[in-house]
A and B are shown apart, each in its own frame.
Chain A
Amino acid sequence: MRLLASLAALFVLASCGGGGGETAGGAADLPGPVPAGVEFVAPPGSALAAPDFSAELIDGTPVRASDLWRDRPVVLVFTASYCDRCAEIHRRAAEAVGAHDGAIALLGVVGEDDVDGGRDYADELELGHPVAVASERVWLDYAAREPGLVVLVARGGKVLRGWPGGATVAELRPRLEELIAR
């Protein structure tokens, strides 16, 4: 009986450990507060408003794009588990964003038909950034005709630049540095 109780306790503990925000690309990968002292440059007045959207992260956590770009710039990567080169595009974006110590957010976006694949994709990449499952509407709003699109959104929600087919670190890095006031 004691053995059974111990096994049950172990099972419960294991279940808690597995579900507690440990999913790659899930809630645990949402960015924390913007580092103290970081100021951002205002986007050009002519920049277009980024279409806001609500989605769920790969672990089911609700996320709103405007909550992310309220405090900091956001790099969106429209990606897919079946797109081999997208993983590299996503990695490069993470490398460029990673140089700014949390001042800039990165959100991967997969399609609704790619939830299971997207979970494996996030797990394999393990970038430490959230991955959302977004509707076709979102893909349409950003003219994401094919996975591999990178979009840079300024703090406050203005689209600054899109890179269909991805951007290199060398292309992204200066654009991100321009956003931070010295």
Chain B
Amino acid sequence: MRLGACCLLALLLAGCSSGGKDTTAARLRVVVPDNNIREEGVECAGARPFRQVHRGTKFAVEDEDGGVVAEGELPAGRAENADPSIDWGVERIPTVCVMELEVDLPERPRYRFVLPDTVPLEFDAALLERDEPLQLVLSG
């Protein structure tokens, strides 16, 4: 009986801590707009001038004060049609390299996604509440 009460208490406590929504599981699509010629769907890394963006590149997410709230390494990318409105009619087409990742972010109004030698990308927390992943398009 006592064990049962303890389990119930633990469950309630666990429920409380996750219900507070201290963090958001942010789904991000990092788009490298290198327009490189590839087959759609192949593994890719950033092509020139984004050669520094590839699997293993360290990224950070900062809050408005510049404090690092999350960090990690990029996964390998997948090539996607750079302009889906065009039927290129060939296998090797202009593509962008897209890296998808999920990051736990503490609640903040705004964030900044930082990669080496690229312009940091700022985004509002509200954008993370959409159903689809947030798309972050890099610039040189």
Say whether, besides A145-B36, A165-B92, A84 and B47 are in contact (CB < 8 Å): no
Q: How far is the CB of A49 from chain B (nearest CB, A)?
A: 22
State whether B42 touches A80 (Cβ < 8 A).
Answer: no
Say whether, besides A80-B54, A111-B51, A164 and B37 are in contact (CB < 8 Å): yes
State whether A84 touches B76 (Cβ < 8 A).
Answer: yes
State whether A82 touches B56 (Cβ < 8 A).
Answer: yes
B48: A residues at CB distance < 8 A: 139-140, 145-146
A34 interface residue (CB < 8 Å to B): no
- Which of B37, B39, B55 contacts A82 (CB under 8 A)? B55
Q: How far is the CB of A78 from chain B (nearest CB, A)?
A: 11
B57: A residues at CB distance < 8 A: 82
B80 interface residue (CB < 8 Å to A): no
* B99-140 near A? 1/0 per residue, CB < 8 Å: 000000000000000000000000000000000000000000
- Which of A111, A117, A146 contacts B47 (CB under 8 A)? A146
A145: B residues at CB distance < 8 A: 34, 36, 47-48, 51
State whether B45 touches A113 (Cβ < 8 A).
Answer: no
Say whether, besides A145-B34, A146-B36, A165-B39, A83 and B47 are in contact (CB < 8 Å): no
* A99-117 near B? 1/0 per residue, CB < 8 Å: 0000000000001010001
Closest to A136 in B: B51
Closest to B57 in A: A82
State whether A80 touches B38 (Cβ < 8 A).
Answer: no
A147 interface residue (CB < 8 Å to B): yes
Among A83, A84, A117, A145, residue most surrounded by chain B Cβ atoms (within 10 Å): A145
A117: B residues at CB distance < 8 A: 56
* B42-54 near A? 1/0 per residue, CB < 8 Å: 1111111001101
Q: Which of A83-140 contact B (CB under 8 A)?
A: 83-85, 111, 113, 117, 139-140
- Which of B34, B37, B45 contacts A80 (CB under 8 A)? B45
* A150-178 near B? 1/0 per residue, CB < 8 Å: 00000000000000110000000000000
Q: Compute how far the CA of A147 lies from the CA of B92 in the bound complex, rounded to whole angstroms.
A: 16
Say whether, besides A84-B76, A145-B34, A164-B37, A113 and B52 are in contact (CB < 8 Å): yes
B47: A residues at CB distance < 8 A: 145-146
Q: Compute how far the CA of A173 lies from the CA of B107 in the bound complex, rounded to whole angstroms.
A: 57
A82: B residues at CB distance < 8 A: 45, 54-57, 76
State whether B55 touches A84 (Cβ < 8 A).
Answer: yes
- Can you list 6 pairs linking A and B with CB atoms under 8 Å apart? A82-B54, A83-B76, A145-B34, A145-B48, A145-B51, A146-B38
